[in-house]
Structure 1
């Protein structure tokens, strides 16, 4: 057996064909291979960067802030999504979330607009001062504890058994308002028809009490000048297996530094651009991409418009033209399209959760766009106006807009029939509308079905 160590070139070759996550693991355990590892080309099928997590192929890494000095010795998660669906990156020395600190320390509540309180309830009472809001939350918590005692004493009239609408009473029970300082009424308790439903209600209320206590604890810490101990825990998992802890980091008030360090360790300062088939980027935090990070990618999926500027510097020029660029959340404002990777990609996909203004769609200059609009845009006059705009501006041959209809076949055909009725010269035949244009071309709208989804494809084609 040859016991000689690998030469530098041999080590590079071995690393080049190794699973990326195994490469990262070896590099973390043997820093001496760093030069060879950074020099060996790195190919990854899919990279996903999201809030407080990074996914490389089937391996996911996440980093979270925990309080680690509680009486039960169980680490308590303080970062991430809160009860009121607000996102927390960092906490102060008492554990108060950064979204509250950035608001001047004011607790969330009714400020003359729709906003949920700390517990996630719609707040219908306008309380201007922080102390008043805190006292109200403490009253709600005390009421929830008393409701819990009510449930412990409750004896349902009916025995447990298989009945029609089993569990429906508990579901209705969970919709009872919890933002009022009052006990359950007799009618509300009678929603729970048997012991099984009562047990579920007890467990549900016990959980709510615990969650409310945890949300209030940071403010009690501040009142009592208690400063808990926090740590950042880094986890890893393969596929959909359980996460396991791989590292504990002292918390200094900046969780995103851990994410940036992870990305720098994995992706930065390489001799070659990383070859990535699919790159997904979506985060609401102020995460910065590392310097000296370049990726040659085919498919780019961006979670929101604000991510575009952050992703732009890491796209290696050898990527152009990208096969596909998808923007998952386009606002009602004008979409910034003047980026080379957007202008030159072969297919641009835009998802719009709200009803977009006509000007936004008209101003999209890319020649091949697929729209997924969660509204009835295709049923409105704006769609007809868009068609007329293409006719008046003589869109060049090859331009193509595709619209996901979210309709059945009959409804989609009805849209095409409406186009025929409202556009002069339009002719409908066999799920297709042809409209003559002035530049010896035809604007063709046709129904296309792919995997049970229906689309209207609007294309400028040569006149026949």
Structure 2
């Protein structure tokens, strides 16, 4: 059967009705469509922003920094070593050039300034590498020669530099999609690229070094008890092997099983201590990378995952939030139309981008989030049709964006002082509210003492029926016409009345859910 290609006009007509993720996939596969696609309206039913991901209609696009050891970065460092023609350094200690310049062992040409400096340096190296394993050496505190103290740390922190094998905890993080934060050129973690300033102070470094030494000591103490070698397959020596065999030979089967369990626990504890040591090293190295201009021993990449599956890996040449915003086709002239926008952080988006939003779902610092949304949301979206506050620890309800919402739903803890000043006409308060009977009475009295718009409707989810019966008894209504056990009308003016009522509304997980309703209506 002959297939006829779709015309430009037909495709332009079809694109607005194509599901958002299908549209993103289509454009990624056919880059020639990008120019036209940007001029066609883009509609999304549900968009959620997280620090390292964007979810569109249930499909999660996540970016993370993965770190690869060996490979390109190792080749680059080794090439740098080969290109050193001075003959001043062995290959394994070329990374110490910054350290030696700092302590004035080298002249401006990068060579030892005299024979005495060279002899002192290599004499220390020889002494360091003989005797006890370097991993077991304690950092000295020689006040007469501070450079020795510092060099001992570096040789400890940079064993086998550059490492060929990726540390276990880095491998695990790579498998999970990478790190959700950026790194600077020294390896410092950047958790918020909107905040500037130098990372890592002396106090933090001192704390890390102390924690590293304590963890390293735990690892060495545990290693002494462990019977196997570093491979985990063979005994360390014949004595350890005989110790194990003799115990198994002389004890009952139950005692043997308990013994094997303890050995396995010890093996797990040893592996955990080793991982902790590597993690502290990972946090320590950036301080010395910066101080002595030591190159990173890994190559960072940005990995894109779609619903947990890695789809693309590119060079790490931009910050994560920049990489993420280019994934979703948001860089366009006309506003993106969004039914529900869920946000739990400050948004970082391309300049000029606009969203037309019907519903906002907010989690976090309300004032900070709403401020960051102001330049992003198109003016035609205000007042927002519906705002749902999922969780917050601040009192950002006084932000204009929230106060002007046509409908406000609060599904987290909220207190009476906040409710007393909310001007919203339609409000729904979830079951997490902490209101007492006295609080409800005070809120009702505040409504009766101020002018309220006709049609104002507030609903409260209440967990217990007894709370509502106590409330109805506490409302001074006398023999009000029309009053019943579950309904009380309270006149406000000659033309307005406050109706207070409640009804049962069980849910799948809460059979004792009730709804308290407060409505201002015409007489």
Provide the TM-score with structure 2 as the length reference. Answer: 0.62
Secondary structure (helix, strand or coil) at the match of 1:68 reads strand
Match of 2:138 in 1: none
What is the CA–CA distance in structure 2 between the aligned matches of 1:248 and 1:390, rounded to whole Å? Answer: 59
Displacement, 1:63?
1.1
2:48·2:54 contact (CA, 8 Å) conserved in 1?
A: yes
Displacement, 1:55?
1.4
What is the CA–CA distance in structure 1 between the aligned matches of 2:456 and 2:381, rounded to whole Å? Answer: 23
2:208·2:280 contact (CA, 8 Å) conserved in 1?
A: no
What is the CA–CA distance in structure 2 between the aligned matches of 1:295 and 1:7, rounded to whole Å? Answer: 29
Displacement, 1:5?
4.5
Match of 2:388 in 1: 326
> Does residue 442 of the first structure (1) align with residue 498 of the second (2)?
yes
What is the CA–CA distance in structure 1 between the aligned matches of 2:56 and 2:300, rounded to whole Å? Answer: 24
Displacement, 1:456?
3.9
Matching residue within 461, 465, 469 for 1:417: 469
What is the CA–CA distance in structure 1 between the aligned matches of 2:326 and 2:405, rounded to whole Å? Answer: 32
What is the CA–CA distance in structure 2 between the aligned matches of 1:73 and 1:44, rounded to whole Å? Answer: 40
What is the CA–CA distance in structure 2 between the aligned matches of 1:422 and 1:33, rounded to whole Å? Answer: 67
Displacement, 1:362?
1.5
Let me know the Cα RMSD of the aligned residues.
4.1
Which consecutive unaligned segments of at least 5 residues does structure 1 have? Answer: 82-86, 108-127, 162-191
1:197/1:458 CA distance change after superposition, 3 Å = farther
Match of 2:312 in 1: 246
What is the CA–CA distance in structure 1 between the aligned matches of 2:253 and 2:343, rounded to whole Å? Answer: 53
Partner deviation per Cα, 1:421-451 (whole Å, 9 max, x = no partner): 4432278854555555455413404244252
Displacement, 1:17?
3.8
Displacement, 1:258?
1.4
How do 1:364-383 residues align onto structure 2 when only pairs under 5 Å count?
A: 364-372=422-430, 374=432, 376=434, 378-379=435-436, 381-383=438-440
Displacement, 1:365?
0.5
Displacement, 1:104?
5.7
Match of 2:165 in 1: 72
Match of 2:518 in 1: 459
> Does residue 233 of the first structure (1) align with residue 297 of the second (2)?
no
Partner deviation per Cα, 1:276-310 (whole Å, 9 max, x = no partner): 332222225xx422234333333321223122222
What is the CA–CA distance in structure 2 between the aligned matches of 1:134 and 1:309, rounded to whole Å? Answer: 36
What is the CA–CA distance in structure 1 between the aligned matches of 2:473 and 2:485, rounded to whole Å? Answer: 16
How do 1:263-278 residues align onto structure 2 when only pairs under 5 Å count?
A: 263=328, 266-271=329-334, 273-278=335-340
Provide the TM-score with structure 1 as the length reference. Answer: 0.69
Match of 1:96 in 2: 188
Richer in helix (by share): 2
Match of 2:56 in 1: 56
Which consecutive unaligned segments of at least 5 residues does structure 2 have? Answer: 70-162, 228-243
Displacement, 1:9?
0.1
1:214/1:3 CA distance change after superposition, 3 Å = same
Tell me how many residue pairs correspond in the alignment: 389
Matching residue within 375, 379, 395 for 2:452: 395
What is the CA–CA distance in structure 1 between the aligned matches of 2:199 and 2:331, rounded to whole Å? Answer: 37
Match of 2:283 in 1: 218
Match of 1:120 in 2: none
1:221·1:227 contact (CA, 8 Å) conserved in 2?
A: no
Greater Rg by CA: 2
Match of 1:114 in 2: none
Displacement, 1:105?
4.2
2:489·2:497 contact (CA, 8 Å) conserved in 1?
A: no
2:409·2:427 contact (CA, 8 Å) conserved in 1?
A: yes
How do 1:186-205 residues align onto structure 2 when only pairs under 5 Å count?
A: 199=264, 202-203=267-268
2:385·2:405 contact (CA, 8 Å) conserved in 1?
A: no
Match of 1:257 in 2: 322
1:77/1:159 CA distance change after superposition, 3 Å = same
Displacement, 1:210?
1.1
1:332·1:360 contact (CA, 8 Å) conserved in 2?
A: no
1:279/1:210 CA distance change after superposition, 3 Å = same
> Does residue 134 of the first structure (1) align with residue 208 of the second (2)?
yes
2:205·2:287 contact (CA, 8 Å) conserved in 1?
A: no
1:237/1:460 CA distance change after superposition, 3 Å = same
What is the CA–CA distance in structure 1 between the aligned matches of 2:253 and 2:503, rounded to whole Å? Answer: 56
What is the CA–CA distance in structure 2 between the aligned matches of 1:449 and 1:212, rounded to whole Å? Answer: 55
